[in-house]
Every structure is written in C-alpha cells, then in structure tokens.
Amino acid sequence: MFCPSMRRLAVLAVVTGLVGCQTTESKPAPKAKGSGAAVVKEPPAGQVRKSEQVKPPLDLANPPLDAVKTPSGLIYKMLSGVGDSPKPMRNDTVLVTYTGWRQTTGETFFTNKGKGQPMTLALANLAPGFTEALQLMHKGERAMLWIPPAIGYKGTPPPGTSAETLVYEVELVDIMAAPPVPVDLAPPATALELPSGTPYVVVKPGTGKDKARYFDTVTFLYTAWDSTGRMFDSLEMRKRPATVPPFRQAPAMEEILTALTAGERIRVWVPADKMQPGGKPLPGMPEGILTYEVEMISIEKMTPPPPVPPDVAAAPADAKKTAKGVAYKVLRAGKGGPHPTPKDTVKVAYTGWTTAGRMFDSSVIKNEPAEFSLGGVIMGWTDGIPLMSVGDRFRFWIPDELAFKGAAGRPQGTLVFDLELLEIKQPTKVEQAAAAAEVPPPDVAAPPADAKRTPKGVAYKILKEVAGAPHPKAHDKVKLDYSGWTTDGKPFESSRAKGQPYTTSLDDAIDGWKEAIPMIGVGESARLWIPAALAYPNGGGPQGMLVFDIDLLEIKK
C-alpha cells in the first residue's frame, strides 16, 4: 500500500542561549518617543492577512512608564493575576493563551485568544526572550511583553520577515513540571559500563528477568538534558511512551534498550553524535555529552528475523542485474505465473540490512506481511519486484540512488533485502469504482492566491472549519482520510477509495504532512499543496508537487 510516510527518529528542535531572569537589576522601561498605538498597515493588493486581527490592550509603540525592563532588553507589564501562585522553571512546559503583534506595523501575526484551547509550549525550546518572560510570570497571570529582536527569535526570523520587536499579550494558564535535572551531568566514578564503554548508573532496578533483544518490541520513556542541565527532549513530558524495536533506534540507543529489563531505569552519558542514525546530530540538537534517563516499561517478544546473509557486503559474481542497476539472486523459485506491474499492489514478507550487516527493517519479526503499491515504494523495489512471481524468494542489492540516498533518518548506501512475493493484490470492484470517482480538485495545478503557507512552503486551505477543534501536535498519532493527486490531476492513492482510514504518527510522515497536518483540527477538511522537496525528493513515491485532500478524523492516544 502506498503510504505518505517515512520512518525516522525525531528530536525536539532546540535553541541556544537561554537568558536568565535578573529581577534585582530590573528597572522601569523608558517611554518611546511619539504617542499613540502603531497604525496597522494594509497588506499589498492581492495579499490576505494570515491571522485574525486583534486590538492590543496597550500602546504597541510605547510601553507604559511603569513597565519593567530586564538586563536582556525584555520589557514587561503585568496586567492581572495572582502573585502567590507557582512560577515555571526553565525546563517546564506551559499552557498559554497569547496574541502577538509586529510593533512596526501593528499587524496581529498570531492569536489563540478566545478559541478555548491554550497552546502547549516547552520553555527550553522557545526564543530566549519568551522563555525569560514566562519565568517571570505566576500561574494565572496575564502580561504584556515587548521582546526586542536580539532575544525574540528561535534562530532566524521566519522566511519573508525581518528581525523586529515583537509584542505579546500572554496569559499563563497552567504549568507542567519537568522531571528534575540529574545531580550528575557527568558520569560519577562509580558508574558502570555498557559493552561499548558507555557509562551508566541504575536509577531504579527492574522487575522483569529478560532483557530485550534487538528485534523485540519495547515500550519505553526517556528524558534528555544537555551539559548545562537544559532539557531538550522528553517522552515523559509528552506522556507518550515510544513503542518500537531497538534496531530502529540509533546504535547507542539500541545498546541502551537491549541492556534493560522491564521496570528498570538507568542514567547514561553519551556523545550527541552517537544518538542519531548515521552518527550525525539533527539540526538544533545540542553537542557534547548528553545525559539520558531511560526507563523500560515493557518488552514484547517477537519472532527472530532471518540470519544476516553471508553475501550481505556485496552482490556475488553470479548475481544478475536489472538495467537500472539492482542486483538480484533467486533464493527459491515458486510455481511461476504472472508478474506484478509497477502499478500493482503486492503482499510481501521481507527483511532489510545495510552492507555492514545491520538489520534496519523486517516484516518477519511481527509475522505481518507488508502490503503496498509498487508505485509508492523505493525505486529499487519498483524495479526489482516485477521480476518475481508469487512464491518466489529473491535477494536484492539496491544501490543508494535507488533506495534512500540523502533521506534524513533512513539507511544510506547499498541496501540488501530478502523478499518473498506472497500475493499480487487485485482491487475489488468497490475500490475500482471509488478510484474512478475520485475527481481532482479544480485548483490541483497550483495553490490559489488565498491559500496560506507554512514556514517551509506547504500551501494549504481549510475547506471545512470546526470552531474550537483540537489540533494535533508534532509527535501525535492521527487517523485521517485522504486522497492524493499529482498536479496534472492524476490520482496516485486514496484511503477513501479503499474505504480504510489511515493512521500514522506525525513522526513518521513525509515532511509536508508533518508541517501542515498540525494546521488542521479534528473534524476539519483541508487541501495541501506539498512541494517535491517536502514529499519524495529521493524517490519512494510520486515525484513533483503533490496535492492532498485530508479529513482529520481523530488524534489517537
């Protein structure tokens, strides 16, 4: 089955340069020259404002005389609240309702005020000025903030904007405390060692007897801190344990998970470049030695995969080769019969390895064959599987350019697959009729002028709005119905035609879905125009800009 997703690890984006709160040196903010609120300038002809416009409660250009200015340049004025309630710490997560204005134009660039759904923000991952300001506030307080450009952005300003003072009205609705920072952000002398030499200490003994194997399915939690004690990622804060086999993690995390029994929690110290596939940190991930606390919740035993092939390092001399360069060898011949075409849907059992012998994927361990359209997989499979008949078992050596070359979080280089063709699926009459009835949108060729855009360039239109609908967050799992077309109006996949809603984690989605689906509320419908660079830039799916109509049905727990 075609699947608009790609498995990859995700780590929360992080920022550098947290600014501490120094209230002892705070002083009243100077009043700016001039008077009156900033005038809201009209957008150029043909452009539509991206956000609802809200009248500010105070003058944007001139903070009041009793506003306070901190050494970092932040100016704030408390509007209401209760001064004896808790304040958040720098690693906490908060719920806020806020509105933001550009000081120079008076334009409202964001608001969730009055929508009945506060926004969840991790303080460690915000622009430093916003982080500083929220730590000055008590739960329940409302404040006005003037944040200068030096501390107003997480990284650089969004595309199409310039650095400027941003003004916010913020209400701190709630505080979710982060796990405490470990007292030892460097390994103590008493630390034990994993086989690789990675130091660790046991925080909590396990209750189980057996350790996880690399192909078992494990459910675990973790929290991670950089060398300064800033928390940069936490499954515990998201209250969403990960459930994956250890081999799908970076080798360092695989080693940690396979050292644990159920119920056990350990603290480990590991270099940042060891915690990502391929040994390369994700953009924004901290450098240096990181501290992780990992707790094993449960271990589900899986079926052992086939052994690593003896010729995994390179195709043997007797292997054949397709015109595109896929090497293959028949391991077992079936009874013959028809071959699938590149447009067919097939059912297969497979296991994949890198040429170093590291397994990176397998349908065998769950005893669940994979089903997919040959038009929606890596080009090496689209090229090689049509050589097979039902019952055949082949070994393929697929070169990098026909696999995942350059795709973040995916194995690189030549990949080796043992694959058995179990069935060539024929579409039912209902599916054929539904597919024939899929009519491309009238604006399939290009996004219309009133479409909005995400920072990375996905154009989208909300076709059906639901007031107050909850929106998914970056790591949520969602259930949806969708149809997809190329810009010439040709359909390439539809869960609607199959009568089967599709469920996926946004961690696993193509970049365009990951970017745009959080803009859609439950019960809403949207149309997305996804640039090729955010869809399948290295093959594995339709090429060029893709258009999706999506109905968001549910945010799964």
pLDDT of residue 252: 94
DSSP 357: S
CB atoms within 10 A of CB 11: 17
Q: What residues does 529 pair with on adjacent strands?
A: 459, 547
Let me know whether 362 and 457 are in one domain.
no
- Examine residue 62 and state whether it is found in any structural domain, yes or no: yes
- Examine residue 75 and state whether it is found in any structural domain, yes or no: yes
Cβ pair 520, 552 in contact under 8 A: yes
Let me know whether 27 and 164 are in one domain.
yes
Which residues of the chain register pLDDT less than 70? 1-51, 160, 277-284, 408-409, 427-437, 538-540, 557
pLDDT of residue 282: 62
- Measured distance CA(258)–CA(194) in Å, rounded: 10
- Measured distance CA(481)–CA(487) in Å, rounded: 20
Let me know whether 442 and 540 are in one domain.
yes
- Examine residue 142 and state whether it is found in any structural domain, yes or no: yes
pLDDT of residue 277: 63
Using CA of residue 485, residue 491, residue 492, residue 493, what is the dihedral sign?
positive
- Measured distance CA(140)–CA(370) in Å, rounded: 51
- Examine residue 308 and state whether it is found in any structural domain, yes or no: no
- Residue 310 neighbours by CB under 8 Å, 6+ apart: none
pLDDT of residue 33: 40
Cβ pair 431, 497 in contact under 8 A: yes
**Which of 378, 398, 426 is the endpoint of a domain?**
426
pLDDT of residue 448: 94
- Examine residue 264 and state whether it is found in any structural domain, yes or no: yes
pLDDT tens, residue by residue, 298-354: 999 999 999 999 999 999 999 999 999 999 999 999 999 999 988 788 999 999 999
**Which of 380, 406, 426 is the endpoint of a domain?**
426
- Measured distance CA(34)–CA(418) in Å, rounded: 74
pLDDT of residue 40: 40
DSSP 537: B
CB atoms within 10 A of CB 368: 10
3-class DSSP assignment, residue 144: strand
pLDDT of residue 219: 96
**Which of 396, 426, 456 is the endpoint of a domain?**
426
Let me know whether 288 and 348 are in one domain.
no
Let me know whether 419 and 439 are in one domain.
no
- Concatenated DSSP letters of 236-273: HHHT--EEE-GGGS-HHHHHHHTT-BTT-EEEEEEEGG
The dihedral over CA atoms of 232, 236, 238, 244, expressed in degrees to the nearest 10, equals 100
Q: Domain total for the chain? A: 4
- Examine residue 438 and state whether it is found in any structural domain, yes or no: yes
- Examine residue 199 and state whether it is found in any structural domain, yes or no: yes
Let me know whether 248 and 293 are in one domain.
yes
Cβ pair 359, 308 in contact under 8 A: yes
What CATH number has the domain bearing residue 86?
A: 3.10.50.40
pLDDT of residue 21: 29
- Residue 444 neighbours by CB under 8 Å, 6+ apart: 485, 487, 488, 489, 547
Let me know whether 35 and 58 are in one domain.
yes
Let me know whether 407 and 449 are in one domain.
no
3-state helix, strand and coil shares in percent for the chain, rounded to the nearest 5: 15, 30, 55
pLDDT tens, residue by residue, 218-257: 999 999 999 999 999 999 988 889 999 999 888 999 999 9
Let me know whether 284 and 327 are in one domain.
no
pLDDT of residue 430: 58
Task: Look up residue 265 and give its amino acid.
Answer: R
Distance of CA 515 to the CA centre of its chain: 8
**Residue range of the domain that includes 261:** 192-300
Task: Look up residue 409 and give its amino acid.
Answer: G
Let me know whether 203 and 286 are in one domain.
yes
- Measured distance CA(484)–CA(492) in Å, rounded: 6
- Examine residue 236 and state whether it is found in any structural domain, yes or no: yes
CB atoms within 10 A of CB 303: 12
pLDDT of residue 284: 62
pLDDT of residue 20: 28
Cβ pair 133, 145 in contact under 8 A: yes
Residue 25 backbone phi and psi in degrees, to 5: -100, 5
This model's pTM is above 0.75: no
pLDDT tens, residue by residue, 424-478: 987 666 556 655 567 899 999 999 999 999 888 999 999 999 988 899 887 788 9
Let me know whether 28 and 147 are in one domain.
yes
Let me know whether 366 and 436 are in one domain.
no
